[in-house]
């Protein structure tokens, strides 16, 4: 492989970011600081991508580049662009916490995913965000989450409460966090029950904190139910 191609591959190799570290350590750093760090990394990566595309264009115009080398360079560029998109989504996540577009403070259901484990059994992941705006002192929020599943059983519409379908035999889901929380668990549906939708209610204990409710259509196949 030509030395020029090797140098370009090396150029892109160090751009693999461990962006998950921000969420993992979020409670130990301010949201504003995280935004600045992510913004700096995004700007840096934008510059790298621009330079990398220019180098790739020069390589593609050269007759010395074989098909294998060209494929390797394009693969590296694709990984960089994927990481760039991940960083942008991460930045949007933190911007939503500090400066929400809708201007509404309180608790929000940021994301809900449900995946089938086996017939009738599912794992869910729920991400909650506590938007507190630009106030100086941010506080913890605590409360409960209610989950219910609506569907048909024997042709009759039925609503199943979380206490009767969760795999850990819990009556409710409790939470306590300052900025965001990921909650996960499992549910088991009775035989013959066809789920149609799932409703999530976030009920804070603090009267001044607004909760959130979301009703989501049950996915046709095990997949991300999204927002």
CA pair distance 114, 218, nearest whole angstrom? 9
Instruction: Provide the percentage of residues in the chain whose pLDDT is more than 70.
Output: 61
CA pair distance 174, 92, nearest whole angstrom? 27
From 126, 139, 134, select the one nearest 206 (Cα to Cα): 139
Using the structure block, give the residue that is written with the tokens 């020069």. 58
Q: Tell me the mean pLDDT in the region 104-124.
A: 87
Q: How many residues does the chain have?
A: 227
What would the pLDDT profile of 66-80 be if each residue is shown by its tens digit?
Answer: 666 667 767 777 777
What is the residue extent of each domain of the chain?
3-98, 106-226
* pLDDT value at residue 54: 76
CA pair distance 11, 5, nearest whole angstrom? 10
DSSP H helical ranges for 61-188: 67-98, 162-165
Whether the Cβ atoms of residue 149 and residue 165 lie closer than 8 Å to each other = yes
Residue 49 CB partners (closer than 8 Å, separation 6+):
77, 80, 81, 84
* pLDDT value at residue 133: 64
In the three-class reduction of DSSP (H, G, I as helix; E, B as strand; rest coil), residue 162 is classed as helix
Q: Tell me the mean pLDDT in the region 98-102.
A: 55
- Say how many CA atoms lie within 13 Å of 39 toward its Cβ: 8
Torsion region of 226: left, alpha or beta (phi above 0 gives left; psi -120 to 50 gives alpha):
left
pTM as predicted: 0.59
Token pair in block for residue 164: 């009767």
Identify the burial level of 165 via C-beta atoms within 10 angstroms of its C-beta, where 0-12 means exposed, 13-18 middle and 19 or more buried.
Answer: buried
- Report the topology of domain 106-226: Immunoglobulin-like (2.60.40)
Whether the Cβ atoms of residue 211 and residue 202 lie closer than 8 Å to each other = yes
What would the pLDDT profile of 10-33 be if each residue is shown by its tens digit?
Answer: 333 333 333 343 444 444 345 566
CA pair distance 177, 130, nearest whole angstrom? 8
* pLDDT value at residue 31: 57
Whether the Cβ atoms of residue 147 and residue 200 lie closer than 8 Å to each other = yes
In the three-class reduction of DSSP (H, G, I as helix; E, B as strand; rest coil), residue 40 is classed as helix
């Amino acid at each position: 492989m030509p030395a020029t191609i090797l140098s370009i591959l090396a150029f892109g190799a160090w751009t693999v970011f461990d962006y998950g570290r921000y969420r993992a350590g979020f409670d130990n750093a301010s949201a504003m600081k995280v935004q600045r760090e992510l913004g700096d990394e995004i700007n840096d990566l934008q510059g790298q991508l621009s330079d990398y595309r220019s180098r790739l264009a020069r390589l593609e115009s050269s007759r010395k580049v074989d098909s294998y080398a060209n494929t390797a360079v394009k693969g590296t560029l694709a990984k960089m662009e994927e990481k760039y998109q991940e960083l942008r989504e991460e930045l949007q996540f933190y911007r939503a916490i500090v400066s929400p577009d809708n201007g509404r403070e309180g608790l929000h259901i940021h994301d809900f995913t449900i995946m089938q484990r086996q017939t009738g059994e599912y794992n869910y992941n729920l991400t909650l965000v506590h938007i507190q705006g630009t106030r100086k002192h941010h506080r913890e929020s605590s409360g409960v989450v209610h989950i219910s599943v609506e569907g048909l059983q024997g042709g009759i519409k039925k609503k199943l409460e979380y206490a009767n379908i969760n795999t850990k035999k819990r009556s409710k889901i409790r939470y306590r966090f300052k900025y965001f929380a990921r909650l996960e668990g499992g549910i088991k549906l009775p035989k013959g029950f066809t789920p149609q939708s799932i409703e999530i209610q976030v009920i804070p204990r603090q009267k001044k904190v607004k909760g959130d409710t979301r009703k989501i259509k049950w996915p046709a196949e095990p997949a991300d139910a999204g927002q």
